[in-house]
Amino acid sequence: MSAAAAQAPVQQPLRRQFLRHPMDVPVDITILRSGVPQTIPARIVDLGEGGLSAVLAGEVIAGQAVGVEFNLPVPSEFIRAKAVVRHYAQMLCGLEFLSLAAHQKEIIRSWSERLTRPSYKSPAVLTPADETAAQITAPSTAANKRTTTIRISAKARKTFSILAALSFLLAGIGVFAWWQWQTGWKKLEAQVPFVSSGSSPKPLVVPSGIMQGRLVHKVDPVYPQQGRQANIQGTVLLRVIVGADGSVVEVNPVSGNNTLAQAAIAAVQWWRFDPYQVNGRAVPVETQVSVVFQP
């Protein structure tokens, strides 16, 4: 009973120097019994860089030195260390590491912090003092960002103002040039009698026989393959407007098969006549042209 009383303070979990985090990793606990090493399978309950708690499939004694072997999945790291049993009750024991490499401590710390449950406070969780400091620091950081943004915006506004001024200047020059051009054009128009398109004389109607005699260039129509296969034949009558220069400016069908009429129009629009003159002046005329199709 006296030995148990002496060991009781060691068993108190409040004496831990390192925080432990929930864990579920198999572990082998090796003990010496009568000088013979014996391995007890166990499962880690919580783990920290200073030690671990595990559920054992066997019995150990508080203060007993043991060997600990387990493997952390990510990154794959095999941990082997010496430990001492700090407390044991109802298959649950607490072990404190006696020798652990620095890089292994870092791996355990990183792995355990990543798997920390919300109910546990990890070293990464801010204390009230840290939270207050973060709240004080955050506005200053935001203020710095706002200051930087304001500086950039001011520079952008200055550049935009310069570009806007140049744009207005160029626009003003363009408007002035356009005004000068319009003024000069109006002066020229004032010197030339204006002839409205509505006042232009209508084409003079000339019989087809007269215009046929003034034909200087003729393009024969291409007999449509569809009309040839259907044995379509006949005469297509076209209304033709001949310009003052003798070129055909407008062709419209008057009568005849539609398929043949399209072929006739395609050819007649390339015809050319000797300009028709009235009182020594060439004038546009209207006449009719007959195109005969025979297979």
Question: For 131-164, what is each residue's pLDDT tens digit?
Answer: 555 554 445 444 444 544 445 567 777 888 898 8
The pLDDT of residue 72: 78
Please give the average per-residue pLDDT across 1-8, as a whole number.
42
Pairing type for strands 92-99 and 77-89 reads antiparallel
Contact 40, 64 (CB under 8 A): no
SS3 146: helix
The pLDDT of residue 276: 95
Please give the mean pLDDT across all residues of the chain: 78
Please give the average per-residue pLDDT across 268-287, as a whole number.
95
Please give the average per-residue pLDDT across 246-260, as a whole number.
94
By mean pLDDT, which of 22-26, 113-117, 224-228 is the weakest? 113-117
Q: Express as a percent the part of the chain with pLDDT over 90.
A: 29
List alpha helices for 214-279, DSSP H: 225-229, 258-268
**In terms of pLDDT, which residue wins out, 100 or 95?**
95
The pLDDT of residue 295: 72
Tell me if 131 is assigned to some domain. Answer: no
The pLDDT of residue 151: 56
| Residue 250 structure tokens | 């407008």
Tell me if 166 is assigned to some domain. Answer: no
Q: Which of 42-46, 141-145, 187-191, 248-252 has the highest mean pLDDT?
A: 248-252
Tell me if 170 is assigned to some domain. Answer: no
The pLDDT of residue 36: 80
Q: How many domains does the chain have?
A: 2
The pLDDT of residue 268: 96
Pairing type for strands 51-56 and 36-48 reads antiparallel
Enclosing domain of residue 263: 204-293
Tell me if 66 is assigned to some domain. Answer: yes
CATH code, 78: 2.40.10.220
Residue 207 pLDDT grade (very low, low, confident, very high; cuts 50, 70, 90): very high
Tell me if 168 is assigned to some domain. Answer: no
Question: Residue 186 pLDDT more than 80?
Answer: no
Domain boundary among 114, 137, 165: 114
Tell me if 188 is assigned to some domain. Answer: no
Domain boundary among 114, 142, 174: 114
Contact 240, 288 (CB under 8 A): yes
